[in-house]
Structure 1
Amino acid sequence: MIGMGSSRTQRPHTDRRDWDNLKSVLPFLLDFRSRAIFALSCLVLSKVATVGVPVMLKGIVDALEHKPEQVVVLPIALLLGYGLLRLLSAAFNELRDVVFARVRYRAMRRLSLRVLEHLHTQSLRFHLERKIGAISRDLERGTRSVSSLMNFMTFSIIPIMVEFLLVGIILLKEYPPIFALITFGTIAVYVWFTLRMADWRMDDRHTMNTLDSQANNQAIDSLVNYETVKYFNNEHLELARYDKTLNEWEGYAVKSQTSMSLLNFGQSAIIAVGVTIIMWVAANDVLQGQMSLGSLVMVNAFMLQLFIPLNSLGMIYRSLKYTLADMDTVFRLLDQQPEIQDLPHAPALKVAKGEIRFEQVEFGYQADRQILHGLTLTIPAGKTVAVVGQSGAGKSTLARLLYRFYDVTGGAIFIDGQDIRAVTQESLRRAIGIVPQDTVLFNETLRFNLQYGKPDATQADLEQAARMAHIAEFIAKLPDGWDTVVGERGLKLSGGEKQRVAIARAILKQPPILIFDEATSSLDSTTERAIQRTLEEVAGDHTTLIIAHRLSTIVNADQIVVLDAGRVVEQGTHPALLALKGHYAALWELQQREEQH
């Protein structure tokens, strides 16, 4: 959980790579280039129809003003044309939306899939250091940002640019340059003001995003650790931490809203001045006979058509900048390289016998905290080797290194003579089955969780594995049987029930190498003895590494290795180690006394 000490929120970096991020979106568009081109064509046709409406309106007004004798024929045709152009504008707009929908939602789908895939390629260290709540919020905002960007570009920015171009052509062709100068001068001042103000506000938006992610992470973290919160009556502490972060977020949100109001007022003032000036010039030209009344109506209609969407351009620009900021978070995440990577053209691991050899292995989770010191250990093919020792001796680290969650900092680990760093991670992990000490299950059914070990397993396979793990009777007694949902992280099951599910899952996988990391630590004595016999049967044809705290569970191992401070200090069978009267014998005697009491 996040530390309780107060710390000032760090203002996020603003050196975003907007153009690089925009280029990263292009591949999503290219998948449907024909749809995108057709959607843009519909957009242009829609704007041609939209710009044609004021032109048609000018014709109607001029006809009524100068040719009253044709009022029965000509205006009717123009009115019909006016209505048709409005209809075509709406029709092409809707057609554009329908055609572009596939492009937009496919982009969201592909980016979501790509980010999740990338997160799964990251090392265990990455996931231990990052906060899941913050990642989920960043992922949500980032995925949504791609859809928003495409919406802004296709439905707002490009249509406005096309409309400006068409109106500019008409103004320059039909009227004195002063009209185009005033119109686009006003637009230039508006855009300059909007960009300066929006850039000024971006730091506050970044800080709001950071605080939003932090608050979301604190809320999720407190719920995930629900039992711990209750153990220590710390509901008020969790609420205070959450409210403290939200209080900071509220301050920046109010500041952001205040500056937005200032921006909106400035934009409205620029538009009001521009429209007033151009209508003054147009009205004066009408009075002097240099412009028809229909032309004045057309210019006024153009102003309304241009400045109404221009009034929202500030909002579009701000939203676009926020979108780029959100997108930047995701693309920075995608740029982060996994700590553990396959070598180029790495072959798959080939397991013939299953011999495992740790050779002069050095490792530490941090540079200043060494865990293993020159450890050398061989687990013969088809044999069961147990590793014991006090907490912190490095027992579970062996399993993490064997799974290649981390790479050794010195020495090497071999399986059948193959350095595990030289083969693909996928093939390595496919060859190993594990029953972890802390079994975490999906918030799904028992069938889903058990079948996770072998997705193509039949119901008969599942039932056999459940019987071998001594959980079949428990499942049969449940009201929903195999369809029982186990809850978040398996919280609806006891520790022993979760471990039996994990054991059944490992049995179902049938890998050549098995790891049992305190696999029976949550079981009662009767069930433990029954499952111990099962594990011995399962391990019979496998190379098995048992990491144990309770020594009574590994007395029948082919070999027992005693670790102390990351070094092998004793090695042998149970009777041989007792005879040495060393570390193992001392641990055995201590546990025997504890069990007797």
Structure 2
Amino acid sequence: MHFCYPGDSYSVPWQSGGFSRCFLETVSSISLGGIILLLGLAVITLSSPPKLPKGLRLQVAKWLVVEIVLCLLYASTFVADIFMKSFLKGDHVYGITIVVDALGITTWCFTTGWIYFDRWRALFGKPHRIIIMLFWLLNGLTLCLMIISWSNPFWWWRHINRTDVSDLILFVLRITIQLILLAGAVVHPCMTHERYVKETSVLLNSFQNQSIESDITATSTNSQQSQGVIMKSEGSTFGDIWKKIRLLLPFVWPRGKLFLQVLVLLCFLILVAGRGVSLLVPIYYKKIVDELTPSSSASYGTTTGNKSFVGLDFTLTINENQQVTFPVELIIIYVFLRFLQGGAVGSIGLLNNLRVFLWIKVQQYTSRTMQVDLFAHLHALSLRWHLGRKTGEVLSVMDRGTSSITNLLNYIIFNIIPTFADIGVAVVYFIIAFDAWFGLIVFVTMALYLLATIGVTEWRTKYRRDMNERQNDMKAKAVDSLLNFETVKYYGAGDYEVDRLNKAVLAYQDSEWKSLASLNILNSAQNVIITIGFLSGSLLCAYRVKQGILGVGDYVLFATYILQLYQPLNWFGTYYRMIQQSFIDMENMFELFDAEQEIKDPPDAGPITISAGQIEFKDVFFHYTPQKPILQNITFTVKPGETLALVGPSGAGKSTIIRLLFRFYDVQGGCILIDGQDIRNVKQSSLRQSIGVVPQDTVLFNDNIMYNIRYGKVGATDEEVYQASEYADMHERILTFPQKYGTRVGERGLKLSGGEKQRVAIARTILKSPAVVLLDEATSALDTETERHIQTSLMKVCEGRTTIIVAHRLSTIIHANKILVIQDGRIAEQGGHEELLTANSLYARMWNQQQKSLADEMNVSGNLDSAIT
């Protein structure tokens, strides 16, 4: 039995313009088999994890199944190869076929088992995924070396017979499988406990505590997300890349926007044209050098002699044996190509300028759409979420997240994709125009560069993520402190707040240093790889010129093209880092998008129709948490035009009734009806448009008074605003301000007094002209005199409208048609003011207590006046 194919030898690595088939298959199969088997067995022997306990099952991950199936399919290609050559076709089986197929079956079956074993190790937090990725990368490199050996007659590329056709089919299948595995390795670079292990039953022994702790963690996570807490992101940035890409795709191809779609197509055409220009520039540079290089029948050596220039035929005569043609057309074409590409260092050529110009509209559409969608989503979230949010953190996430969308599209579409295209074109061109060694040098350099970039960048991801979290914390502390400026001053805590921010800045700078230091390591590694690759190619090219195989123009072509190729490759590290950073910046924004809308309209919901304004609560049950019920069996009716008052101790559930009616929350039992319509079955926007609220703590926009009053009815005229202000007894007061209705009220309306803010809120509600009015302790924070004035204004608001009042001072609700006394989430008493006093129960005791307190205050006030007198 012969080991190699006839005429081939494993002792000659390179022959006939390509790698020897026997040599390459022998070396690659033994090397790859040795790597995976030795490293794998060493890890299994030295660090085998304990057995899985009963009751703990590995989650069936889709990609794990795909990887195992692909590896088994790859192993089956070697079985098919030896089967067809031995039995079906009757060809002579050589020793190389037996060695390659036997090692191939062994290594790929072992790889399949190693994938599952690595999943097993992931349970204990110690996966060795890098071994599998190294094996796949080297195997892919071997397949590429086979491709560049296409001119060698011993490969199947040249002589197509039955055996070669089967070899070609198996080769195509193998390289397809390898590409899928490598692509999956980039998308799923890590195998962590959280992503690949799931406890599906109650664990025994030592794992019981882990199960309980896992349940508590999951409950805490869900609670934090519902309360607006932005969770910490873990794992690889590209772990859920398909989800992120699906969110990006609508912004790359804007549906329904024909003009923008045309711009996108033009931009892609310009990208394709740019790849052709990038190839032609060094080619024409080489042609110019060849034309300007003296040609001689004797040699390429330098000669001396008489020199003359004949301008008409553009010919330089150096001596009688050498002539140099003046390449006018080549120079014009070369300069034009440079004009398209970019003529000077750092300049941007016509094609790129045109592409940037056309992309502006698409970029603006992307940024605007993402911002508006996120803003709308935040407004659609429940009150529960907004009560738990940190405003500064949310604003920081919105700012970084929306800007990262534009950056991602620019980096991926206009930098990363063209760079990979240029690398592919360069490898093919060098193989065809020079020889396979040049293509191999370029390919290996690029592969090592990309591998180092991806590996180091993934390693430093944790530093960037930690820096983002500390930056969020720093901004949240600063914004929170400024929003509570008065509180800080009241307690003299200015130095404490400054020191608190200083510590947050120091923590941020510590993380920033780690991020920048790791970036410096990455830049140094990239520079070393590129330098070694350029040096190797330059030496080889210079050697071929010295041999006379290549000309001086070929060296110029190689140096120009390779430097042109390395220039965007130098930026590739930056692009990859920026893409990764943009994904990290987007993670919190995606978490905001993932926050579920607690209160949703039914698909068939329509606008509410209010004809009379009757409100009914029927057996309403509600709780914020199941352990603490807030309302139990609440039933009452407010007839059209009547006023209902809710009184009771703090925490009894009075304000909760207001929030349920406004549908900030949905009831857990019973229903709420307005004119016979369940408010859960109508659109929230129409419901809230029909209800006017005057809260206890009025918060105004940092704008002028006109804007804040008109907010009740955005399309109202100035005259309508003035009229609403007069009803609220605020018009004359506003006219005394220097800027009148143009007076800015400051952050949260702090430039106005409490009574002025309440009147603005009343005017806003009057302008809205709602069918139902809710007064949530609207005067409890005001002094007695101001309260009397506000009460007069409120009476005008409530006139002829169904009204529910939550009151602390009972004297303000004696006019109510019905009073409900709420205690411990239940209706303790109900009736009119006189009726409840006659009953001499809870309401009567509250009334007597408040009257006694008021009398005591008047006595104290009278004594003070007498003392002063």
TM-score, normalised with respect to structure 1: 0.95
The residue matched to 2:522 in structure 1 has which SS? helix
| CA gap 1:200/1:236 in 2 versus in 1, 3 angstroms | same
Question: Contact between 1:383 and 1:540, CA under 8 Å: does it hold in 2?
Answer: no
Match of 2:851 among 581, 592, 595: 592
Distance 1:106 1:462 in 2: 36
Q: Does 1:336 align with 2:595?
A: yes
Question: Contact between 2:292 and 2:325, CA under 8 Å: does it hold in 1?
Answer: no
2:273 aligned partner, one-letter code: L
Q: Post-superposition shift, 1:73?
A: 5.4
In the alignment, what sits opposite 2:437?
178
Question: Contact between 1:17 and 1:328, CA under 8 Å: does it hold in 2?
Answer: no
Give the alignment of 1:514-593 within 5 angstroms. 514-593=773-852
Which has the higher mean CA deviation after the structures are superposed, 54-63 or 367-376?
367-376
Q: Does 1:12 align with 2:233?
A: yes
Match of 1:78 among 306, 309, 330: 330
The residue matched to 1:245 in structure 2 has which SS? helix
Q: Does 1:148 align with 2:407?
A: yes
Greater radius of gyration (CA): 2
Note the alpha carbon deviations across 1:239-259, whole angstroms, 9 max, x for none: 333233332222221111111
1:25 aligned partner, one-letter code: L
Question: Contact between 1:18 and 1:328, CA under 8 Å: does it hold in 2?
Answer: no
Distance 1:10 1:498 in 2: 37
Distance 1:13 1:361 in 2: 42
Distance 1:312 1:530 in 2: 69
In the alignment, what sits opposite 1:27?
250
2:643 aligned partner, one-letter code: T
In the alignment, what sits opposite 1:292?
551
Distance 1:329 1:11 in 2: 8
> Across the two proteins, how many residue pairs are aligned to each other?
589
RMSD, aligned CA: 1.7
The residue matched to 1:261 in structure 2 has which SS? helix
Give the alignment of 1:65-144 within 5 angstroms. 65-67=293-295, 70-71=315-316, 74-89=326-341, 90-144=349-403
Question: Contact between 2:292 and 2:326, CA under 8 Å: does it hold in 1?
Answer: no
Which portions of structure 1, spanning 4 or more consecutive aligned residues, are displaced by more than 6 angstroms? Answer: none
1:20 aligned partner, one-letter code: K
- Higher RCO, 1 or 2 (CA under 8 Å, sep at least 6)? 1
Q: Does 1:56 align with 2:284?
A: yes
Distance 1:46 1:411 in 2: 67
Q: Post-superposition shift, 1:164?
A: 2.2
Question: Contact between 2:392 and 2:480, CA under 8 Å: does it hold in 1?
Answer: yes
1:476 aligned partner, one-letter code: L
In the alignment, what sits opposite 2:145?
none
Q: Post-superposition shift, 1:106?
A: 1.0
Distance 2:714 2:852 in 1: 45
Distance 1:113 1:562 in 2: 44
The residue matched to 2:460 in structure 1 has which SS? helix
Question: Contact between 1:384 and 1:543, CA under 8 Å: does it hold in 2?
Answer: yes
The residue matched to 1:453 in structure 2 has which SS? coil
In the alignment, what sits opposite 2:20?
none
Q: Post-superposition shift, 1:136?
A: 0.7
| CA gap 1:11/1:429 in 2 versus in 1, 3 angstroms | closer
Question: Contact between 1:433 and 1:513, CA under 8 Å: does it hold in 2?
Answer: yes
Which has the higher mean CA deviation after the structures are superposed, 63-72 or 191-200?
63-72
Q: Post-superposition shift, 1:55?
A: 1.0
Runs of 5+ in structure 2 lacking a partner? 1-229, 255-259, 297-313, 317-323, 342-348, 858-869
Q: Post-superposition shift, 1:267?
A: 0.7
The residue matched to 1:489 in structure 2 has which SS? coil
In the alignment, what sits opposite 1:426?
685
In the alignment, what sits opposite 1:306?
565
2:495 aligned partner, one-letter code: H
In the alignment, what sits opposite 2:485?
226
In the alignment, what sits opposite 1:317?
576
Q: Post-superposition shift, 1:472?
A: 0.6
Which has the higher mean CA deviation after the structures are superposed, 111-120 or 378-387?
378-387
Match of 1:276 among 529, 535, 539: 535
Q: Post-superposition shift, 1:299?
A: 0.1
The residue matched to 1:490 in structure 2 has which SS? coil
1:346 aligned partner, one-letter code: A
Which has the higher mean CA deviation after the structures are superposed, 69-78 or 500-509?
69-78
Q: Post-superposition shift, 1:67?
A: 4.3
Distance 1:191 1:494 in 2: 63
Match of 2:723 among 461, 464, 481: 464
Q: Post-superposition shift, 1:354?
A: 1.1
Note the alpha carbon deviations across 1:276-314, whole angstroms, 9 max, x for none: 100010000000000000000110001111112111111
Q: Does 1:252 align with 2:504?
A: no
Question: Contact between 1:384 and 1:546, CA under 8 Å: does it hold in 2?
Answer: yes
Which has the higher mean CA deviation after the structures are superposed, 286-295 or 328-337?
328-337
Q: Does 1:361 align with 2:620?
A: yes
Distance 1:167 1:537 in 2: 81
1:261 aligned partner, one-letter code: N
Q: Post-superposition shift, 1:190?
A: 0.6
Distance 1:153 1:102 in 2: 18
Question: Contact between 2:762 and 2:797, CA under 8 Å: does it hold in 1?
Answer: no
Distance 2:419 2:574 in 1: 13
Distance 2:683 2:454 in 1: 49
The residue matched to 2:272 in structure 1 has which SS? helix
Distance 2:285 2:372 in 1: 50
Distance 1:94 1:154 in 2: 15
Distance 1:372 1:87 in 2: 75
Q: Does 1:444 align with 2:706?
A: no
Distance 2:773 2:766 in 1: 9
The residue matched to 2:649 in structure 1 has which SS? coil
Distance 1:162 1:260 in 2: 26
2:327 aligned partner, one-letter code: P
Q: Post-superposition shift, 1:496?
A: 1.1
Q: Post-superposition shift, 1:544?
A: 0.3
Distance 1:508 1:430 in 2: 12
In the alignment, what sits opposite 1:205?
464
The residue matched to 2:327 in structure 1 has which SS? helix
| CA gap 1:367/1:246 in 2 versus in 1, 3 angstroms | farther
Note the alpha carbon deviations across 1:420-441, whole angstroms, 9 max, x for none: 1121111111111000111111
Distance 1:485 1:556 in 2: 36
Distance 1:529 1:249 in 2: 52
In the alignment, what sits opposite 2:761?
502
Distance 1:231 1:364 in 2: 36
2:681 aligned partner, one-letter code: A
The residue matched to 1:360 in structure 2 has which SS? strand
Distance 1:466 1:10 in 2: 45
Runs of 5+ in structure 1 lacking a partner? 1-8
The residue matched to 1:312 in structure 2 has which SS? helix
Distance 1:243 1:367 in 2: 41
Note the alpha carbon deviations across 1:475-501, whole angstroms, 9 max, x for none: 101111111111111111111111111
Note the alpha carbon deviations across 1:165-208, whole angstroms, 9 max, x for none: 33234222211111111011100011011111111111121111
The residue matched to 2:477 in structure 1 has which SS? helix
In the alignment, what sits opposite 2:447?
188
Distance 1:329 1:526 in 2: 49
Question: Contact between 1:12 and 1:210, CA under 8 Å: does it hold in 2?
Answer: no
Distance 2:612 2:733 in 1: 36
Question: Contact between 1:11 and 1:203, CA under 8 Å: does it hold in 2?
Answer: no
